[in-house]
Every structure is written in C-alpha cells, then in structure tokens.
C-alpha cells in the first residue's frame, strides 16, 4: 500500500515519519541517545505506532552513527601501509593518523616505475605477527591506475595470515592519494561498527514484523540498501536530508536556496533546476579529507538558541547553545528572544523575551525603542551571517573549475532562486532574510520533521565513471575501483557507450538498485599520440542518477 518510513537521527532529537501515498500519516519525535543510536531509531519507529506492518514497503534511515564515531574518535585504529612514491612530500598535508611507508612506485598511467622492495616487507611481517587481529590498509599512489603493489602485498600477508583483515586503496577509484588513504582508513575503521549496527537494526525491524527493505541515506542525498552501503558514505546524511526535503513540495525543475535553521546550527544548500548541488570536492569530516561525494552544504554554527551576550559593540552571537531560549525557560538571551519580542514568532513568553533583551542593555538604555532596535539588530546579525554563507555557496557553484572550452563558453545559466526556509525559528528570520537577499522566502510546511521527510522520500543515486586507456588496454571505474582489460578497438566510438551501459548495469545490480533514466555525460576523447602517430585513446565518460526525491507530498 505504498507506505514509507523515514527516520532522521539528529543531534538532539530523532524524528520519524510515516508517509502513505505521498501524504504524511504520522510523525514522532524522540530524544537522541548519542550512546545508543540503534535504541534511538527503534524508539522513534515505535513512537509512530504502526498498525499495518505489511503495508510498509520502505524504510530509510539517516544516521549519525559513523559521523559521531569519527568526530568523537571512537573508531578502532587501522595500520596504514603506504606506497607514496616520490613527488610532493607526504607531510606537506596533515595526516591525522600514523602510517608506514614502503618502496614502490607507479606513474599516472599505471606503469611501474619502481618495484616494491620485498626486504622491507619483512618488517611488516613482524608487525603483523604482533597483532594479527588488527585492521590493515594498503594504499599506493596511482593505485587507481594500477593496484599491483597493493594486491601483491595483500596476497603475501594473507598467505601467512589467512584470517588477516585488509583493505586496499584502489577500491576507491578516484584520484587523490591523500584522500584515498584517509577514506580507505575511515571506511575500514567504521566497518565493524556499521555492520553490527546494520545487523541489529535488521533484526529489530524483523522482530517488529516489518518486511520492508531498509535503506541508508548517504552524504550525496541518495539511498542504498542497508547492507550495500560503504560505511563512510553514511556521513553527513542529516544535512543531505534537509536539502532533499524542500523537493517534496516544490514544483519540478525549480531552483532554490535551502536554509534549515535549528537551535545550534543552520544548514544551507542549493537546488539547481530541481537537482541538489554536489560539492566539487570530497567531504571533510573532522581532520579527515575524504573522497566521499556529498551535497554542497554550508553548516553555520548559529541558530535560534545561539547564546547572546552583551559586548563592547552591543552584543555578540556565540557559536554555541546554552540550553533553550530565555523566553522558553532558558538561562541566556538568544535570537529566539529577539524574534519573540518583535512578534515574529508566537511561541515562548513575551515577558521573558523582553527580560532577555533588557539584560543585554545598560540600565539607562532600557527604553522600548532601544529594545526594538536591539532585537532587530540581533535578528539582522543572524541573517547577515546566513546571507554570507549563501553567497559563498553560490560562488562555489559559479566558480567550479572548468577544464574545457565548452564549459567556459557556456557558464551556468542564471537561475530564478527562491529561498526555502525550514526549522524551528524559520518564521523569525523570514522577513529579514527576504529583505537582505531581495529573494522571495517560502517557509516549509513541515519544518519540524523536514529531515525525516527528506530521508523517507530520497531516491537512489548512482554514478559510474569510466576511464579507458585503449593504448594500454585497460579500463577502470572510479566509483568501485573496478579495473579490467579492454579488448575492443584502439579508437572506439559507439562501442564505448555500450560498454559503459554494460558496466553500469552490472554495478547497479551489485548495489541492489535499478537504473532509471540515467544521465550520460558527453565522452571526452584524448587521442594518444606518440611520434606523429595516434596509437590509441584515453576516454572518459560517466553515467549518473542525480539526487532527488521519489515524488511530491500532498497536503
């Protein structure tokens, strides 16, 4: 009967929503127990008090499990073996984890420059012997072009220690040795935690007699089946959900700036002609730069509950929260109090809101007109910082690097943006934001459970990027790290598209999703010329299913 459940684990609260035939049936909010995400999710699910388990055909969870484990440094250590080759000094970039370096080098086309020095590997044996149950990761520079060194070392270690747990960098097939190393590290470190979570979640859901498949929301706003997702891809799904949510009640093909203002943080995203903007670079989490594809989101440490103190300049908004707003029974003044005083929002005590503002002014200035002025100034200061982030995000989009003449001659078209505002204090800043950016603002109808809606309605994303070198007869897929032999023509044309299709079909089947109207990027052909002769081609092409939602909600 087409019922979907979305659960979003947030920092303070976890929201759940039940959607039936594109209508919201029920929603629930439970406190998040940071130490027990699983219990939290089940509480939220139970709070929906589902009656007809069989009618549910999909559950999507957006979880902070891995995000929190990384940020709180709760992941196990992974021994990292690197083949860094020569080039930029390793320590030019900050490595948040220790590593061992090994001899052995590949070049940018996957040709071996230096073989590994097997004498060095003897020391590794000693290391592994001491701790055979630890996690090990091997990453080589240019291993995405040729994994030979990684595979040889892995095989050698596995021969001696058959149960050894190993991850290899070439499984993350994108360029960037530094990010590939850290991504391999984090993903492997989070492996056990994620899989134990997944297993328990599946068991608990089954115990509740729900047969529906479970999906996890990823940083790029797409969903994948619980058992198919790579743990690290589950980071930053909350902000992704908040960017997806407005799509469920927007006309298709519209462009919007998404502002989701909470108590402590404000997330800002961009929707361009109905498609959320992806970040050009991989996600950064804590001290780790990764290859994780994520939506371009600016997270401001400011919100309705930001602690507000008197200062020499009048007042100062802090980037932290000290409990709820004064007008809601809290201890400190906040922007929410200013909004309440001005009558922009209708919750909280008006009298306490006034008191909150009075506390920020010296006794001689506590007149109604000064209070009004101060209240406006506080709201405007909040809006100014949000506006700055919006500008910076728009610039990131407008200034995405371009590597082709065509791209420079056809820059991004102008979009007619409107602002989609959601979150508790949304009403409080709507007017000021509209004025500041001279852009129409619309407040979301389901502000308080927007993220759960985004999760429930998210659809799968899919990317398959082919790199084919017909001179060296190999191909490679960025997303999976798959590498293989090319047996086709040296200068193929139409057969490349068929080949990409075939790879994509296989890849989609592996992760358990169906390819629906994938978008195909134009291929780039690089004739490889040696001497005066064209000896082959390097070909790049890609297929995508962009982030989006499965449909629109009816009111």
Partner 1 sequence: MNQTGILFFPAFDWSLGEAHPEREERLLYTQEQLFEEGVLDLPQIKQYFPGIAPLHDVLRTQALFPEPETEALEAHLIAAGSAITLGEARVRGEIRNGFVLVRPPGHHAGATVWGNRGFCTLNHEAIMINRLRAHFGIKKIAIVDTDVHHGDGTQDIFYHDPNILFISLHQDGRTLYPGTGFVHEKGGPNAWNQTLNIPLPPGTGDEGYHYVLEEWVLPRIQAFAPELIINSAGQDNHFTDPLASMNLTAKGYGRITELLQPDLAVLEGGYSIEGALPYVNLAILLALAGEEFQQVREPQPQTQTPLTLSSFKHYLKTLRQEHERVTPHWPIEKKPFLPMGNWISLPHSVYYDTEGFQETRHDTIRQCSHCGGTVLIETRRLREQQKHYLVRIPFQSCPDCLQAGFDLWEYLTKKAERVLLQDQFHDKVYFWHNHKGVRPF
User: Where do contacts with partner 1 occur on this chain (CB under 8 A)?
Assistant: 86-89, 92-93, 105, 107-109, 113, 141-142, 144-145, 175-179, 289, 398-406, 408-409, 524-529, 532-534, 538
Under 8 Å between Cβ of 403 and 241: no
Report the residue number, 389 or 537, with the smaller CB distance to partner 1: 537
Q: Report the run of H or E that residue 195 belongs to, with start and end.
A: helix 191-207
CB of 26 to partner 1, least distance (A): 45
Secondary structure E strands in 68-176: 78-83, 100-101, 105-106, 112-114, 135-140, 165-168
CB of 89 to partner 1, least distance (A): 5
CB of 362 to partner 1, least distance (A): 40
Structure tokens at 403: 């590597």
CB contact set of 287 (below 8 Å; sequence gap of 6+) = 94, 96
Report the residue number, 261 or 277, with the smaller CB distance to partner 1: 277
Residue in 311, 312, 370 with CA at minimum distance from that of residue 341: 370
CB of 455 to partner 1, least distance (A): 31
d(CA 519, CA 446): 31
CB of 92 to partner 1, least distance (A): 5
Report the residue number, 52 or 533, with the smaller CB distance to partner 1: 533
CB of 552 to partner 1, least distance (A): 35
190 alpha carbon, distance to own chain's centre:
16
CB of 145 to partner 1, least distance (A): 8
d(CA 445, CA 460): 25
CB of 530 to partner 1, least distance (A): 9
The neighbouring-strand residues paired with 507 are none
Report the residue number, 519 or 524, with the smaller CB distance to partner 1: 524
Report the residue number, 253 or 527, with the smaller CB distance to partner 1: 527
CB of 454 to partner 1, least distance (A): 30
d(CA 429, CA 339): 8
**532: DSSP letter:** T
CA-CA-CA-CA torsion for 123, 125, 128, 130, nearest 10 degrees?
-80
CB of 119 to partner 1, least distance (A): 21
CB contact set of 515 (below 8 Å; sequence gap of 6+) = 462, 504, 505, 508, 543, 545
The DSSP code sequence of 322-391 is -SSBGGGT-SB--HHHHHHHTTSS--S-HHHHHHHHHTTS-GGG--HHHHHHHHHHHHHHHHHHHHHHHH
In three-state secondary structure terms, 266 is strand
Report the residue number, 255 or 290, with the smaller CB distance to partner 1: 290
Report the residue number, 175 or 322, with the smaller CB distance to partner 1: 175
In three-state secondary structure terms, 227 is coil
Report the residue number, 509 or 524, with the smaller CB distance to partner 1: 524
Residue position matching structure tokens 């004498």: 119
User: C-alpha angle with apex 263: 9 to 12, nearest 5 degrees?
Assistant: 30
The DSSP code sequence of 325-336 is BGGGT-SB--HH
Report the residue number, 179 or 218, with the smaller CB distance to partner 1: 179
Report the residue number, 126 or 414, with the smaller CB distance to partner 1: 414
Under 8 Å between Cβ of 216 and 240: no
Report the residue number, 402 or 506, with the smaller CB distance to partner 1: 402
d(CA 235, CA 271): 20
Report the residue number, 253 or 522, with the smaller CB distance to partner 1: 522
d(CA 120, CA 473): 32
In three-state secondary structure terms, 172 is coil
Report the residue number, 107 or 495, with the smaller CB distance to partner 1: 107
Q: Phi then psi for 422, rounded to 5 degrees?
A: -140, 175
CA-CA-CA-CA torsion for 121, 122, 123, 125, nearest 10 degrees?
90
CB of 524 to partner 1, least distance (A): 6
CB of 308 to partner 1, least distance (A): 32
Residue in 117, 112, 75, 87 with CA at minimum distance from that of residue 100: 117
CB of 137 to partner 1, least distance (A): 17
Q: Phi then psi for 489, rounded to 5 degrees?
A: -70, 160
Under 8 Å between Cβ of 513 and 464: no
CB of 401 to partner 1, least distance (A): 6
Report the residue number, 182 or 332, with the smaller CB distance to partner 1: 182
d(CA 69, CA 235): 10
């Amino acid at each position: 009967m087409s019922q979907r459940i979305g659960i979003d684990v947030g920092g303070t609260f976890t929201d759940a929503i039940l959607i039936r035939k594109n209508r919201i049936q029920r929603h629930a909010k439970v406190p998040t127990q940071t130490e027990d995400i699983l219990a939290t999710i089940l509480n939220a699910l139970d709070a929906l008090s589902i009656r007809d388990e069989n009618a549910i055909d999909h559950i999507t969870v957006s979880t902070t499990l891995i995000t929190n484990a990384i940020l709180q440094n709760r992941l196990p250590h992974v021994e990292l073996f690197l083949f860094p080759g020569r080039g930029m000094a390793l320590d030019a970039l900050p490595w948040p984890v220790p590593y061992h370096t090994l001899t052995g080098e590949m070049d940018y086309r996957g040709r071996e420059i230096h073989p590994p020095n097997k004498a060095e590997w003897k020391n590794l044996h000693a290391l592994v012997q001491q701790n055979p149950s630890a996690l090990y990761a091997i990453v080589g520079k240019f291993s995405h072009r040729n994994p030979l060194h990684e595979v040889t070392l892995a095989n050698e270690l596995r021969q001696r220690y058959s149960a050894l747990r190993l991850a290899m960098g070439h499984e993350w097939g994108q360029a960037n040795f530094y990010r590939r190393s850290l991504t391999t590290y984090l993903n492997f470190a989070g492996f056990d935690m994620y899989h134990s979570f997944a297993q328990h979640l599946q068991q608990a859901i089954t115990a509740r007699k729900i047969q529906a498949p479970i999906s996890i929301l990823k940083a790029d706003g797409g969903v994948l089946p619980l058992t198919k997702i790579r743990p690290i891809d589950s980071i930053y799904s909350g902000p992704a959900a908040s960017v997806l949510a407005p799509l469920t009640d927007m006309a298709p093909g519209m462009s919007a700036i998404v502002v989701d203002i909470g108590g402590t943080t404000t997330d800002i995203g961009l929707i361009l002609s109905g498609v959320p903007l992806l970040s050009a670079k991989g996600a950064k989490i804590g001290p780790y730069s990764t290859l994780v594809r994520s939506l371009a989101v600016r997270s401001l440490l400011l919100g309705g509950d930001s602690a507000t103190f008197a200062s020499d300049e009048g007042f100062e908004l802090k980037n932290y929260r000290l409990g709820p707003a004064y007008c809601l029974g809290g201890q400190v003044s906040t922007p929410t109090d200013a909004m309440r005083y001005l009558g922009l929002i209708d919750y909280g005590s008006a009298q306490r809101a006034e008191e909150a503002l009075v506390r920020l002014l010296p006794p001689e200035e506590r007149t109604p007109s000064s209070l009004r002025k101060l209240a406006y100034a506080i709201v405007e200061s909040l809006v100014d910082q949000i506006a700055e982030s919006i500008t910076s995000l728009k610039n990131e989009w407008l200034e995405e690097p371009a590597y082709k003449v065509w791209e420079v001659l056809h820059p991004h078209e102008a979009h007619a943006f409107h602002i989609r505002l959601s979150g508790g204090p949304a009403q409080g800043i709507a007017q000021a934001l509209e004025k500041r950016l001279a852009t129409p603002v619309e407040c979301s109808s389901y502000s308080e459970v927007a993220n759960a809606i985004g999760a429930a309605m998210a659809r799968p994303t899919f990317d398959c990027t082919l790199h084919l070198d017909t001179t060296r007869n190999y191909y490679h897929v960025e997303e999976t790290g798959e590498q293989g032999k090319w047996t086709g023509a040296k200068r193929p044309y139409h057969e490349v598209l068929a080949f990409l299709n075939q790879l994509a079909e296989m890849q989609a089947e592996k992760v358990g999703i169906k390819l629906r109207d994938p978008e195909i990027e134009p291929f780039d052909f690089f004739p490889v010329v040696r001497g005066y002769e064209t000896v082959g081609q390097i070909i790049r092409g890609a297929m995508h299913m962009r982030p989006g939602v499965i449909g629109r909600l009816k009111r």
